[in-house]
Amino acid sequence: MKALVYLGPTRKGFEDRPKPEIATSTDAIVRITKTTICGTDLHILKGDVPTCQPGRILGHEGVGVIDSVGPAVTTFQPGDRVLISCISACGKCFYCRKLMYSHCTTGGWILGNTIDGTQAEFVRIPHADTSLYPIPEGASEEALVMLSDILPTGFECGVLNGKVQPGGAVAIVGAGPIGLAALLTAQFFSPAEIIMIDLDDNRLETAKRFGATGTINSVDGNAAETVMKMTAGRGVDTAIEAVGIPATFELCEKIIAPGGTIANIGVHGTKVDLHLENLWDRNITITTRLVDTVSTPMLLNSLRSRKIDPTLLITHRFTLDCILDAYEAFAHAGDTKALKVIITA
């Protein structure tokens, strides 16, 4: 079969690889129908993710059709259409039984990282019963691809951890795909204000269309002051960090109201300064989280009842044969204005 393979820092190839096979009794083989590219895939290609070794098929998002299942799989059978979760969960271990699937001792984020992933014609999914989801009748496959990773990540790490509430004031720092996913899902809780902060006017425009009540281009370095003005000097109840660098995290520290929550989504490569000399008496909360995808059933319900439209995030479409073009478009989002790209296998 054809697959997108990581070949070492800055190198990738679209190669022939053997079709995967059932390895343990709880595995399923899924024929991919749609997949996509994540910012994390670009990180891997930069050589920033040491757990991912050359030779690995990338990709941890997608929908498809069950091709075969191991003898212990009870929920699915060949022919079933399924959503693939970016997180594999055994359902049995200490962490899974606390619903912290991200830390599953034999799973977590392994797809397209420590085992072969979804940017291929077929993929092997371990712990299939607890890592795949049946697709509701009539649901758009493109919309569903957004439920593999980006929507649950924005929702769980940003919105739920950030305790977004009706009537509250929210700021989201970073209007890339993940920040926009937080923006879309924050509206499940009807906050009064959602202020979107970014350096790219195009993305801020998109944010407005997606429901932001205010936008700030932070290029002038006055974002904190502007947020304070917009919130009557109090700051925001929820600040969602969706970039992953010290400057944006520290912006969150400046704009958080007493009693508020900073919810980190960004993947950080270095330490940040935590100004406890200002924050020790401000009754704030800071959270970090790798997505657990425990909200997937809820998001499927919301999709079915049309409470959310994740296809808003999709800007480009390619066939699997053209996945190298898809990577180009996605990697140069500043020019192409790409958010999420759909790849049809």
**Beta pairing, strands 256-264 & 285-287:** parallel
Q: How far apart are CA 10 and CA 43, in angstroms?
A: 10
Q: How far apart are CA 302 and CA 141, in angstroms?
A: 15
Residue closer to a copy of itself (CB basis): 55 or 269: 269
Q: Which of 141, 86, 75 is nearest to 111 (CA)?
A: 86
Q: Which is it for the CA torsion 32, 113, 20, 83, positive or negative?
A: negative
Residue closer to a copy of itself (CB basis): 61 or 292: 292
Residue closer to a copy of itself (CB basis): 1 or 228: 228
- Say if CB 103 and CB 95 are below 8 A apart: yes
State the minimum distance, in angstroms, from the CB of residue 241 to a copy of itself. 9
> Rounded to whole angstroms, what are the CA distances from 101 to 15, 108, 227?
32, 6, 35
State the minimum distance, in angstroms, from the CB of residue 12 to a copy of itself. 24
State the minimum distance, in angstroms, from the CB of residue 140 to a copy of itself. 16
State the minimum distance, in angstroms, from the CB of residue 150 to a copy of itself. 16
Residue closer to a copy of itself (CB basis): 129 or 342: 129
Q: Which of 247, 255, 285, 245 is nearest to 161 (CA)?
A: 285
State the minimum distance, in angstroms, from the CB of residue 300 to a copy of itself. 8
Residue closer to a copy of itself (CB basis): 94 or 321: 94
Residue closer to a copy of itself (CB basis): 11 or 92: 92
State the minimum distance, in angstroms, from the CB of residue 157 to a copy of itself. 9
Q: 3-state class of 37 per DSSP? A: coil
State the minimum distance, in angstroms, from the CB of residue 215 to a copy of itself. 15
Non-local (6+) Cβ contacts of 115 within 8 A are: 56, 124, 126
φ, ψ of residue 230 in degrees (nearest 5):
-70, -15
Q: Which of 320, 330, 319 is nearest to 14 (CA)?
A: 320
How many residues does the structure list for the chain?
A: 345
Residue closer to a copy of itself (CB basis): 35 or 295: 295
